[in-house]
Amino acid sequence: MARILITSAIPYINGIKHLGNLIGSQLPADLYARYQRGRGNEVMFLCATDEHGTPAELAAAKAGKPVAEYCAEMHGVQADIAQRFGLSFDHFGRSSSPQNKALTQHFAGKLDDAGLIREVSEKQVYSHADGRFLPDRYIEGTCPNCGYDRARGDQCENCTKQLDPTDLIEPRSAISGSTDLEVRETKHLYLRQSSMKDQLNAWIDSKTDWPILTTSIAKKWLHDGDGLQDRGITRDLDWGVPVKKGDQDWPGMEGKVFYVWFDAPIEYIACAKEWADATGKADAEWERWWRTDKGADDVRYVQFMGKDNVPFHTLSFPATILGSGEPWKMVDHLKSFNYLNYDGGQFSTSQGRGVFMDQALDILPADYWRWWLLSHAPESSDSEFTWENFQQSVNKDLADVLGNFVSRITKFCRSKFGEAVPQGGTYGDREQALIEELTRRVRAYEGFMEAMEVRKSAQELRAIWVAGNEYLQSAAPWSTFKEDPEQAAVQVRLGLNLIRLYAVLSAPFIPETTARMLSAMNTMDTAWPDDVAAALSALPAGHDFAVPDVLFAKITDEQREDWQDRFAGVRT
C-alpha cells in the first residue's frame, strides 16, 4: 500500500471562488485523492483557506466586520461549499491557525540561523488617500515589459514577469485608484533565495516527470533577465503572522507581519498538525507525512495548482524548506494547470462574470459540474467554458451514455425478470469480447489516472461507458427475450454488473452519482476491478436491486439561455 500526500493550492479567504479557481487545483486534486483511495492506498489530502494580507483586511472592512471574525465566517462558507462539491479533504485548515503561526516563525528562525535572511532598507509606496503602505499587489500600473495596463506591483499577470512597484508606469492604488503615492523608506526581511539558485535548479532538473508547464515557468524565473531574485518576506500590515525568530522577538521588525506568500505555503505542513490536534492524534501521526526522519521518506507528495502559483511552489517554498536544513518532505510531483476562461472572456470576481461555486450548486448538482470541468481541464493550454459546450457534454456524456444505460437495463430487468439479478445461461463470445475490451480500457484508464492526465482519464472513462451501451444495443435483450429468455438473462445480468463496475470506476469523477448507483444495486462492494471478468460477476443471480431515479436530467435550450444571460456579469 502506497502512502500519498496531496495538497491543492489554498484558496484566498476574500469571497467565494469561481469555477476557474476550482478546476485549477482543488477539483483535480480531489480526483486523484479519490482514485488513490479507491486503489487501496493511504492518502492524506490537505487544503486550507489563505487568510492573511491586505485582501482579507479590505474584504472585512467592506463587510463591516473585524478581520478575524470575517475570516472565521468565510472559512466556514468555503468549507461548506467544498463539502457540497464533494471535495474529500482529510482536513480543511486555516493559515491563521496557531499551528501555522508557530511553524512560520520557526522556519524564519531556522532560515536566519542559516544566513538566508537579510534585512533591507527599501523604499515602499505609501498612499496618502488610503493612509497606509501599499503591498505590491495593491499597486497597479502599466507593465514596462509588455505594456499590460493592469499589471500588479509584484507580477504582471499578462507576461508573468516579476516586478517591483517602482517598475510600473503610471502607478495607482488598487484600493482607491489614487495616484497620490509617495515612496517612503522602511525595513524588511528578505529571503536570500538567489544564493540557492544552483541548488533549486538541480532539484528542478531531477523532476523529469513534471509537466512542461511547471518546469518551463520555474526555469523562466530562474534564468530570465537577472535570474532568481531575493524575495521580501515581511510587510507593514496589521493582519498576519507577527515577525518573530522562533518564539523570540525580532529587533527592528516590531509591528510587522510575514508576507502572505511566505506563510501560506507553510500552512500545507501546519494543516497536518491542525488535523492531528483536531482529532486527538499524537504529533507522530502528522510528522510521518512531513518529516523524512519520522517516516515520510516513503511518502509520495503531489501538489496541484494553477500556473500563476507555480513560481512560489517551485522556488520560494522549496527555498524555505531546503534552507531550513531540516528533514521536511519535498514535493515529488507538481501538477499545474492553465486557465479556464469564460464564454469568450475571463472569469471576473469583481464584475461577477462567470459561474461561482455557490451559484453552480444552486442550479445543478455537483456531479454535472465535476464531470464537465474535469473532462475539459486546462492541461496543455487554456480552455474555455461555454454554455453550449456544457449543455452538449452533460446531455451526451452523462444523460445519453451513462444515465440512459442505467435506466434501460434496470427498467427492462424489472419488467421481464423482476427486481433481482436474473438466473440462467453463461457468457458467450459477445460477452467475452466485451470483457476483453473493458480490461484493456480499464488498464488504460488506470495509467492515465496514475499519470494525472485528467482529460485523457475522462475520455477513457467515457469510452468504458460507451462500450457497455454498444454491447447493450448489439445484444438487444428486449429482442433476445422473445426467442431465448435464458440468453436475455445473461445479457441483463452482465448489464447490472456493469452498473456496479461503472460506479466504482466513476467514483473519482462523479462521487454522488456513484453512491446512487451503488445504492440502487444494493451493494457496498467498491472493490477495484483488478480482474474485470470477476468484477462483472460481483452481483450474483438472485441479488436484489432497485430502479433508480433519473441520474442526469438533460439541460434544455431554455435553461441554457437563461443561465447564459444570468451569469454574464451582474454580481457585485
List, for residues 246-291, the tens digit of each pLDDT value: 999 999 999 999 999 999 999 999 999 999 999 999 999 999 999 9
Please, what is the angle between helix 404-416 and helix 454-475, to 10°?
A: 30
Is position 156 annotated in a ligand binding site? yes
Is position 47 annotated in a ligand binding site? no
| DSSP-assigned states of every residue in 143-192 | -TTT--TTEESSB-TTT--B--GGGSEEEEETTT----EEEEEEEEEEE-
DSSP bridge pairs for 151: 141
| Domain 394-535 bears CATH identifier 1.10.3720.10 | no
- Residue 141: predicted pLDDT: 95
Q: Which residues contact 362 (CB under 8 A, 6 or more apart)?
A: none
* Single pTM value for the model: 0.92
Is position 480 annotated in a ligand binding site? no
Is position 349 annotated in a ligand binding site? yes
Tally the C-alpha atoms within 13 A of residue 386's C-alpha that lie toward its C-beta: 7
Please, what is the angle between helix 27-38 and helix 429-450, to 10°?
A: 130
CB 486, CB 425: distance < 8 Å:
yes
User: What are the respective helix, strand and coil percentages of the chain, to the nearest 5?
Assistant: 50, 15, 35
- Residue 134: predicted pLDDT: 86
pLDDT digits (tens, 9 = 90+) for 353-389: 899 999 999 999 999 999 999 999 999 999 999 999 9
Angstrom distance (rounded) from CA 253 to CA 189: 8
Task: Write the single-letter amino acid at 54.
Answer: T
Helix (H) or strand (E) holding 449: helix 429-450
Is position 159 annotated in a ligand binding site? yes
Residues of the chain with pLDDT under 70: 570-572
Q: Where does residue 227 rank: exposed (0-12), middle (13-18), buried (19+ CB within 10 A)?
A: exposed
Angstrom distance (rounded) from CA 294 to CA 317: 21
Alpha carbon separation from 155 to 143, 148, 163, 313, 511 (Å, rounded) = 9, 11, 5, 15, 38
**DSSP letter, residue 308:** G
- Residue 572: predicted pLDDT: 42
Nearest to 236 by CA among 165, 121, 133: 133
Hey, where are the domains in the chain? 394-535
Grouping H, G, I as helix, E, B as strand and the rest as coil, residue 292 is coil
